Amino acid sequence: MMQKAKIDIKGLNFFFEQKQVIKELNLEIPDNRIMGVFGPAGSGITTLLRTLNRLSDLTAGARQEGEILLDGKNIFDTDVNVTELRRRVGMVFDVPTPLPMSIFDNVALGPRMGGMKSKTDLEEKVETSLRMSALWDDVKDRLDTPAARLSGGQQQRLCIARVLALEPEVILLDRPCSALDPISTAKIEESLVQLKEQYTIVIAPHTVQQAGRIADRVAFMLMGDLIEQGYTQEVFSFPKDKRTNDYLTGRFG
Amino acid sequence: MKMNANTSQKIAKFTIWAAALFVIAILFSIIAYILVKGIPMLSWEFLTDIPRDMGRSGGISSSIVGTLVVTAVAVIVATPFGIGTAVYLTEYTREGRITRIIRFSAESLAGIPSIVYGLFGFIFFVIYLNMGWSILSGGLTMAIMILPTIIRTSEEAIRTVPQLYREVGFSLGLTKLQTITRTVLPSALPGIVNGVILSIGRCVAETAAVILTAGSALRMPESLFSPTRTMAVHFYILAREGISMDNAYGTAALLIILILLLNVGFNMLVNRFIAKGR
Partner residue facing A109 (CB), from B170, B172, B175: B172
Dist CA A202 CA B257 (whole Å): 59
Partner residue facing B170 (CB), from A58, A99, A162: A58
Extents of the domains making up chain B: 66-230
CB contact under 8 A, A101 and B186: yes
* Binding-face residues of B in 105-164 toward A, CB within 8 A: 164
Q: Which residues of A touch B168 (CB under 8 A)?
A: 93, 97, 99
CB contact under 8 A, A97 and B276: no
Partner residue facing A83 (CB), from B173, B182, B275: B173
- B66-230 CATH: 1.10.3720.10
Residue by residue, DSSP assigns B160-228 as TS-HHHHHHHHHTT--HHHHIIIIIHHHHHHHHHHHHHHHHHHHHH--HHHHHHH----SPP-STTS--
Residue ranges and CATH numbers for the domains of chain A are 5-97+170-248 (3.40.50.300)
Residue by residue, DSSP assigns B228-277 as ---HHHHHHHHHHTTS-HHHHHHHHHHHHHHHHHHHHHHHHHHHHHHHTT
B178 at A interface, C-beta within 8 A: yes
- For residue B183, the chain A residue with the least C-alpha distance is A99
ipTM of the complex: 0.86
SS3 A251: coil
Question: Per residue in A95-121, pLDDT tens?
Answer: 898 988 899 999 999 999 888 888 999
Nearest to A24, CA basis, from A10, A38, A35: A10
B175 at A interface, C-beta within 8 A: yes
Residue by residue, DSSP assigns A41-95 as TTSSHHHHHHHHTTGGGGSTTEEEEEEEEETTEETTSTT--HHHHHHHEEEE-SS
Alpha carbon of B274: minimum distance to chain A alpha carbons (Å): 8
Question: Per residue in B117-169, pLDDT tens?
Answer: 999 999 999 999 989 899 999 999 999 999 999 999 999 999 999 888 899 99
Average pLDDT by consecutive 10-residue portion of chain A (253 residues)?
A: 76 90 92 91 91 89 89 89 91 90 92 88 92 89 90 90 92 89 88 90 91 91 91 90 89 75
B174 at A interface, C-beta within 8 A: yes
* Binding-face residues of B in 199-258 toward A, CB within 8 A: none
As a whole-number percent, the residues of chain B with pLDDT over 90 amount to: 41
